[in-house]
A and B are shown apart, each in its own frame.
Chain A
Amino acid sequence: MAQGTRGKRRAWWPAVSGIAAVACVLVVAACLGTLSHDSFAEAVALAPAPTLNLPVRDSRPYWLLRRQPGWLGAHKVIFGGAASDRGRTIIRAARFRDEASAALAAARLTPAYMQRLWPAEMQTPPQPVAFPVPLPGDTVLVTEYGLRLPPEEVPTEAILVQLIVLRVGRTVIVIDSVGIPREELALVVEALVGAVKWLEAAERPER
C-alpha cells in the first residue's frame, strides 16, 4: 500500500517538471520581441516591381537596423534570383519615427558594417564606386561587393553585386542587385524614392 502511494507520487514528477519548465518558458516568452508587419515598408519594398519586371520570390518582415533608435518596422522583398530569371534584386526597407533617426541609422550602414550584416553573401567587402548617373535621395551610398558562391560552384570571374544605401525622408533602403543594368537600377531607385514620398505625403494628414 505504502509502495503504491509512493509509486503514484513518483508518477507525478515528470508532469510537474514539465509544467514547471513550461511556466519558465512562458515567463521568458511572454515579453519576447518579434517582427511585426509594416505595410509602409512593404509598399516601399514592392514599389519597383513594374520597373524590374521580375517575379517576387520572397516578401517578409525584416530586421534591418531594428536595434536603432526610432525604428518602426522593415520589410524585405526578393525579385528574381531563380535560374530562369535574368537577375536578382533584393530591396530592404526600414521605416523610422523621424528623419533624424533615419539619418542616424543610415549613417551606420558603412561598408564594414554591411559586411557584418550579410557576411554569408559577401566574398569581398563592399567598396564605394561611382554611379554613371546621379541618384535621387537624401543620402546615397553606392558600393559593389564580390558575391560569395557555394563551394561547389566555381565561377570563371568574380560576380559583382551592386549595393546601394538610400535614405529618403524617414525611410532607409538597401538595394542589393546582380544582373540588372545600371540604367535600369537608376529607375528602380527613382521608383523607390517616388514611393516613399507618395506614402509619406499620404500619411501626413492623419498625423
Chain B
Amino acid sequence: MRLRPSLNRLHALALVGVLLELVLLIGVLYPFALWRVPDVVAASRPLARVLGHEWTGAVRFTGAVLLASTLFAVAAWLAGTQVGRGARALVLAMTVVYSLSLLPINPVGAQDIYHNIADARTVWHYRDNPLVLPPAAYPDDPLAGRVPAWQSTPSLYGPVWYLLAGVVTAIASEGLLANVLGHKALTALFLFVVTALAIRLADRLKPGAHMGAAAGVLVGWNPLLQFETAGNAHNDVVMVAFALGTLWAMSERWWWAVFPLLALAVATKYVLVVLAPVLLVWLLARRAAPRAAVIGSLLLGVAIGVTAMVPFMIGVDLLDAFWREGCFVSASPAALLHTLLGRLLPSDGLQRLTLVRAVLWPMGAAAYVVVLWRLVRAHTEAAVASACFWVIVLVLVLGLSWFGP
C-alpha cells in the first residue's frame, strides 16, 4: 500500500520535528537543565561559565545550534508543501513540546529574567514604580538580591508587561525557581499564541498559497525563538503577540480593534509605536475601511495607551530614561560603525554615537518615508504586513544602537 504524497510529506515533517526535539533535549536541555545548573549564573559570559571556556564548550553549543538550525530549515521547507489541517495541528503540538523541553533549563541566555522578577515584585509586593526604583532599592528583598546585572538600573517596559508579570508574582511569591519557571511559562504561552496567529494570518493574507504551516514552523519551531522565550523568558514575544493581533484584526476587518491592540503592544514595549503611522496611512488610504471606524479606533487606542502609561510616568523623566537606554551600544550595525569610528577618530564614545546617529538616522527616516509612500498605493493586507516587517527591520538595523526592541 502506498501513502499519498501529502501524507508522506507530513510524516517527513513529523520525523524532522522529532529529530529537532532530540537536538533540543541533548544539546540544550541536558547541559543547562535546572537540576544540573540550579543557581543564578552571575557571569558576564554565562553560557561559557556553564559549558566551559575551552573549545569543547564552544563546539558543543555551536554544534547543537547548527544542527537545530539545519533541521529547522528543512522543517520550514517541508511545511511549505503542507495543505491539510494535520500539518497545522502537528506544528502547534510540537511548538508546545519544544517549549516544555526548554522550560526546565537555567535561563543562561538572559539575566533580564531576574530583573523582571524583581520588577514584578516592585509593583505587586512593594506597590512601587519599577520605572523609577531598581531592584537595588530593596536590599532586604529575598529575590532582589539574586539579580545578577543592572541592579541599580530601573527597567523601561510598559505597564501591560508588569500587569502580566504580576500574575506570576501572585502565584510564585518569594520562590526564585517558581518565579523563573512562571516567567518562562508566560512567555512560552505567548509564543504559542504568536505561532497560532502566524498560521491563521499566513492563510488569511495569502489565500491559496497554503503557507500557514510554514509560518507556524518559522515561529513555533524556531530554535532561537524557543530558546529566547521558553528558555530565557524574553518578554518581546508578548509585544509581538499583540502586534500580530493588530494585523489579525485588520485582516478580519475589525477596524475598531486595530489601534487598541497596537496600544497594548506599545504598552508592553514602546518600540512598536513606529507601526502606528503605517497602519494609519494604510487604513486611511483604503476605501473599504470606514473613516469613522478608523478615527474611532485610533482615539480608543490613544486613550488606552495614555491611560495605561500615565500613572507609571509620574515622577519619571521618560526622555532621560530613553536617552540613557539609547546610549547603550552593542551587537548592532550602529555598534560596528561605532567601533570602526573609534579606530579612526580621537573622540569619546558619546561623540561617536552622535556621529553614528547622524549617519544612520536620516537613512532610516528616508527609508521609512519610502515604505509609507509605497503603502499608500497598496491595497492588500499582505502589503501592510510587509510594510510593518520592513519598518521593524529599519528600526533594528538603523534606529537602535543595540538589538533591544
By a beta-carbon cutoff of 8 Å, the part of chain A in contact with chain B is 7, 10-15, 18-19, 21-22, 24-26, 28-36, 60-61, 63, 66-67, 82-84, 113, 116-120, 151
Contact = CB atoms under 8 A, between A and B. Distances in A.
Given A21-B264, A25-B160, A82-B348, A15 B129 contact: no
A18 B264 contact: yes
Residue of A18, A35, A120 ringed by the most chain B CB atoms within 10 A: A18
A24 B139 contact: no
B387 to A, nearest CB: 21
B263 A18 contact: yes
Given A22-B308, A29-B159, 13 more contacts: A11-B257, A14-B254, A18-B261, A21-B308, A25-B160, A26-B308, A28-B166, A35-B315, A63-B133, A63-B137, A66-B137, A113-B139, A117-B136
A14 B257 contact: yes
Interface of B: 44-45, 123-124, 126-129, 132-134, 136-140, 145, 149-152, 159-160, 162-163, 166, 245, 249, 252-257, 260-261, 263-264, 267, 297, 300, 304, 307-308, 311-312, 314-317, 320, 348
Contact of B308 (A15, A25, A34, A67): A25
A22 B304 CA distance: 6
Residue of A24, A82, A84, A116 ringed by the most chain B CB atoms within 10 A: A116
A167 to B, nearest CB: 18
A19 B264 CA distance: 10
A14 B257 CA distance: 6
A11 B152 contact: no
Residue of A14, A30, A31, A116 ringed by the most chain B CB atoms within 10 A: A14
Given A32-B127, A33-B133, A83-B348, A116 B261 contact: no
A22 B307 contact: yes
Contacts of A12: 256-257
Contacts of A61: 315
19 contacts: A7-B252, A11-B254, A11-B255, A14-B249, A15-B257, A18-B263, A18-B264, A21-B308, A25-B162, A25-B267, A26-B308, A28-B166, A31-B127, A33-B128, A34-B314, A35-B132, A35-B315, A66-B137, A116-B145
Can you list the 9 inter-chain pairs with the closest CB atoms, starting with the nearest? A29-B311, A34-B315, A14-B257, A11-B254, A63-B137, A18-B260, A33-B128, A116-B139, A151-B44
A24 B163 contact: yes
A34 B257 contact: no
Nearest to A62: B137
A19 B261 CA distance: 10
A32 B254 contact: no
A151 B45 CA distance: 10
A43 B263 CA distance: 40
A32 B137 contact: no
A66 B134 CA distance: 12
B311 A25 contact: yes
Nearest to B324: A58
Contact of B311 (A15, A32, A117): A32
Contacts of A119: 136, 151
B138 A67 contact: yes
A35 B133 contact: yes
Residue of B138, B264, B267, B308 ringed by the most chain A CB atoms within 10 A: B308
B160 A21 contact: yes
A14 B304 contact: no
A116 B124 CA distance: 22
Nearest to A30: B311
Nearest to A35: B132
Nearest to A112: B139
A18 B297 CA distance: 12
B105 to A, nearest CB: 24
B256 A33 contact: no
A28 B163 contact: yes
Contact of B124 (A14, A28, A60, A118): A28
B260 A14 contact: yes
Nearest to B153: A120
Contacts of B128: 32-34
Residue of B124, B149, B307 ringed by the most chain A CB atoms within 10 A: B307
A117 B134 CA distance: 11
B158 to A, nearest CB: 9
A113 B140 CA distance: 9
Contacts of B139: 113, 116-117
A113 B249 CA distance: 52
A18 to B, nearest CB: 4
B133 A19 contact: no
A117 B253 CA distance: 52
A21 B320 CA distance: 27
A7 B245 CA distance: 16
A19 B304 contact: yes
B325 to A, nearest CB: 15
Contact of A120 (B138, B151, B263, B312): B151
Contacts of A33: 126-129, 133
